[in-house]
Structure 1
Amino acid sequence: MNLKFETELANGYTSNSQIARVLTESWVKQNSYCPNCGEKPLNEFENNRPVADFHCLKCSEEFELKSKSGKFSNTITDGAYDTMIQRITSDTNPNFFFLTYSKDLTVDNFLIIPKQFFTPEIIIKRKPLSETARRAGWTGCNIDISKVSELG
């Protein structure tokens, strides 16, 4: 397994978040497999699909990737609260991949939390953005992984 990112894939990107997305999603596609059935490779969903980055053609499991430079803390920043709650309570709720990487763009940790351990209780609603914000009223969420059962 290669632990280094293919940095040339990020050529042309200037946003750090877009660079991280391109590099981490590429790494997962090249180095992971479906933990449910063993199928390799996983297939990517189109960009900007809510709470879904990959899926398995064989067993139809879905996966959301969360990545971060450095170590994960107990709380992981995520996107829109309502979207997350809708997805994790749906019939097609995703499993979660968590990936951390170092400043030298090497993968440090890659873990999987199965979908049955993602419940609304671990999703923390953030305060809505202020009236003066570009996206006024938008409400994000955090994932409190300390509330995930030890079995997960």
Structure 2
Amino acid sequence: MNLHFNQSLATNYKSEPQRIRVLSENWVANHSYCPNCSAEPLTEFANNQPVADFYCSNCNEQYELKSKKAKLSNIINDGAYDTMIERINSDNNPSFFFLTYSQALSVNNFLIIPKQFFKPDMIIKRKPLSATAKRAGWVGCNIDLRKVPESGKVFLVKNQQVIPRDNVTEQFQKTLFLRTQSIVSRGWTLDVLQCIDKLEANFSLNQVYVFADLLKLKYPNNNHIKDKIRQQLQLLRDKGFIEFISRGHYRKLS
């Protein structure tokens, strides 16, 4: 995988954002592949497609690309808040590619967050544009990547190192079961995964119970938080994220 942008494509563009858009989209189209089925190349949608930037002609997965210079940050700027919330709650929302690039215009990091990891609470509403702005009253949003469990960050390139394709597709496909869950059930699974991310490789049920008060704030109508935690741990065990060691003790699986 060549990590360098083809800079000759952008010599006629004076706008830096437009230049980067052309270079990064060209790089994905020519050097990437579908993380779900490993097919290549990805196909670009027509310009101004409202839903996504790329799709796989083999498995029909759709992807939107976000590019940024330098380091991958926890907060990513996105478009209209209402549109993003509507997409998250729909069946045809795309997964997101996040690409960071260097001063020399080569790829530092390239990862995908599969669509099943997006929840409304990770979309941050920005203040409306002022009355004097060209789009007065328009409300944008940011994506908070801190609310994504580590298993939902699938790197194709990490710190300029290309990740083996088999590893990428295995990690991507491991979480596809989340798509069959309801929004509420999926939220529970993702929240418990995030709790486990904060613990050591070997952990106890009591350590997960420490997060019960926090989960109660998110699910105030649920009066059986600890029962729900145990249910989710059993699900994650069955799906190969953790393993049962002994009564009340677990180990994370890579």
Q: Which TM-score tier does this pair reach, normalised by the shorter chain?
A: over 0.9
In 1: Cα distance, 2:40 partner to 2:144 partner:
30
In 1: Cα distance, 2:60 partner to 2:49 partner:
16
Residue 116 (structure 1) aligns with: 116
Residue 28 (structure 1) aligns with: 28
Query: Could you say what secondary structure the match of 1:38 adopts?
Result: coil
Q: Is the 8 A contact 1:50 1:83 kept in 2?
A: no
Structure 2 unaligned segments of length 5 or more: list them.
153-254
In 2: Cα distance, 1:6 partner to 1:32 partner:
14
Higher deviation after alignment, 83-92 or 12-21: 83-92
Judging by fraction of residues, say which structure has more helix: 2
Q: CA RMSD in A?
A: 1.0
Q: Is the 8 A contact 1:122 1:144 kept in 2?
A: yes
Deviations 1:73-115 (A, max 9, x none): 1101111111111222211111111100011101101111111
Structure with bigger RCO (C-alpha 8 Å, 6+ apart): 1
How does 1:31-110 map onto structure 2 within 5 Å? Answer: 31-110=31-110
Instruction: Output the TM-score relative to the length of structure 2.
Output: 0.58
Query: Could you say what secondary structure the match of 1:29 adopts?
Result: helix
Query: How many pairs were matched up?
Result: 152
- The structural deviation recorded for 1:143 is 0.4
In 2: Cα distance, 1:67 partner to 1:7 partner:
15
Q: Is the 8 A contact 1:51 1:84 kept in 2?
A: no
